[in-house]
Every structure is written in C-alpha cells, then in structure tokens.
Amino acid sequence: MDKELTNQTDELTQKTPKKHNPAVDWILRLIKGVIIGFGAITPGLSGGLLAVVLGVYEPLMRFLGHLKDKFIKNLFYFIPVGIGGAAGVVIFSKLVSYSFENFKAPFIWLFLGFIAGTFPSLYQTAGKNGRKGYHYLILILLAIGTYFLMRWMETITNVNLPQTLVSWLLAGLLTGLGVVVPGMSPSNFLIYIGLYKPMSDGIAALNMGVILPLIAGVLISVLVLAKLVNWMFDRAYGVMYHLILGIVIGSSAAIAVIHGQTSGSMIAVCAGCFVVGGIASYLLAKLEEKYPRESLF
C-alpha cells in the first residue's frame, strides 16, 4: 500500500509543471549571451560552438530561417542574448587586447590549445553521418592549401591590412561566419591579416568607426549565410564540415609556425599555456554531450 501511494505521489510530482520565472530566464539568457560574445572575440574559440553548448544555436537558426514566423515573440526572446553578446565582446575585448599586447606568444599558444582541445569534438561532429575516403582527402587538401595561403598572405601583406571601412566590414563578415558555422574561429584569420589587435582596441575604446561597420558585417553575414549554410549542410554535411576542419587545421598551423619560440623558458611557458588551453577547451566541448537535443542544422 505504501509503495503504491509512493508511486502515485511520484507520478503527480512528475506531472506537476515547474514554475516559470521570467526574470531568472531573462538573466540566464543574458549570461549565455555574454559567454557567446566572449567566444566571438577570443582567438581559438567560436561563438557558434558556445551557442550550441548553451542551447541557443538551434533556436537562433530557426529564428533567422523563419523571420516572419512569430517575429515579435522570438525577437524579445533573443534581446537578452543580444545584449549579453554585445556586453561580452566589449568587456572581454579589453582583457584580450591587454593580453595580446603584453603576452602575445603565451596568449596565442593558449588559444592554439583551445583549438586543439575542441578538435576531437568537431571531428566527431563532422563524422556523425559517416565518413568516406574523399572526406579525409578534402580535409588534408584544405589544411595544406590554407596553410600555404596564410603564409603567402603574410609575405604579401606583411600581416597588416589597411584599417579602412572595407576592412572592418570584412572583419564583421568573418565574425558573423563564426556564429553561423560552429567551431570556426574567425579570430585566426583576423590575427593573420593584422586586424585582430586594432579591432579589439577599437571595441574597447568604443570607437564607432570600428564598431558600426563590424556590426553591419556581422548582420550581413549572419542573415545572408544562415539559410545558405543550412541548405549546404543538409545536402553535403560531411563535405562541408571537413572543409571547415581543414581550414581550422591549416590556419592554426600557420599561426603556430609564425609564433614559434626559441628561448627555453618561453618554450616552457608557451607549452604550459597550450596544455591549459587544450584542457579547458576539451572540457568545454564535452558539455555538448549534456544537450542531446541540440542538433546542428
């Protein structure tokens, strides 16, 4: 009798819906936005990947893919995420800018570790629909091609694009791509073309000449590419993701070579930073397993 009563009580408890607290929910979405903004501004991290882990990515893609469907309701849902994202970019840009200026080599190797730690999760995601031989070929060719392209760009441009309206628009387009394509860190490219440090400084100083074209580029990239990337992943998921993996490997290898160290003490410091970054990123990527319903595209 007692056992039956206990079972009935458990059933009633399970059927009783949890009370929804709008204020707490709003704050949680704000915090998620801050974390995603941090990922967007930090080399080696990806705002898109953090959005997946935090359960924001799929609703965001649905919203962008169907703007006319319950637009006002969905817009209000994402307002705290947007505010948090902007706050995260501004707040962490100061920290990132300082670290990049004063501890450049250890800082870069820390986030190369982030890339390495994330790679197992990205590799697993890329092969979730199976792999074929040509997928590996695509990955290798893109990695080699990206590596030599980045080294060639360094030689041609001396890693220093002119800081113009078009350059900041390009930086915004790349940043937006990092939101649409999980795991892709646009900061790698921004470092190599010499825009990352001045971009971080401009954001930290609230320079509208930098911020406004950046925002425009992000909006254009996200709005235009969201449907396109969804369409491409639906039809060639494995090919697309192995293309991304190749780009990530190639760009990271190029950055590692250019920022290699010869001093014994600095090698040890950079190696330690690499290990710390790898462990932190690996643990972060493992959080995706707690969101089994969160699927890409």
Residue ranges of domains in the chain: 15-290
12 — pLDDT class (breaks 50, 70, 90): very low
Amino acid 143 reads A
- Return d(Cα 123, Cα 238) in angstroms, integer: 10
Average pLDDT, the chain: 76
Number of helical (H) and strand (E) elements in the chain, helices listed first: 12, 0
Considering the entire predicted model, what is its pTM? Answer: 0.63
Q: Are 192 and 255 in contact (CB under 8 A)?
A: yes
The predicted pLDDT at position 49 comes to: 66
- Return d(Cα 215, Cα 220) in angstroms, integer: 9
Rounded to the nearest 5 degrees, what angle is found at the Cα of 231, between the Cα atoms of 228 and 237?
115
The predicted pLDDT at position 281 comes to: 74
Q: Output DSSP code: residue 297.
A: -
For residue 5, count other CB atoms closer than 10 A to its CB.
9
Tens digits of per-residue pLDDT, 211-253?
Answer: 999 999 988 988 887 777 777 777 888 888 888 788 878 877 8
CA distances 284 to 38, 54, 266, 278, Å, are: 13, 10, 27, 10
- Return d(Cα 135, Cα 168) in angstroms, integer: 34
- Return d(Cα 82, Cα 51) in angstroms, integer: 12
Residue 79: CA atoms inside 13 Å, Cβ hemisphere, count? 9
In sequence order, what E strands does 232-287 have? none
Tens digits of per-residue pLDDT, 104-140?
Answer: 788 778 878 877 877 787 788 788 888 888 999 999 9
The predicted pLDDT at position 13 comes to: 43
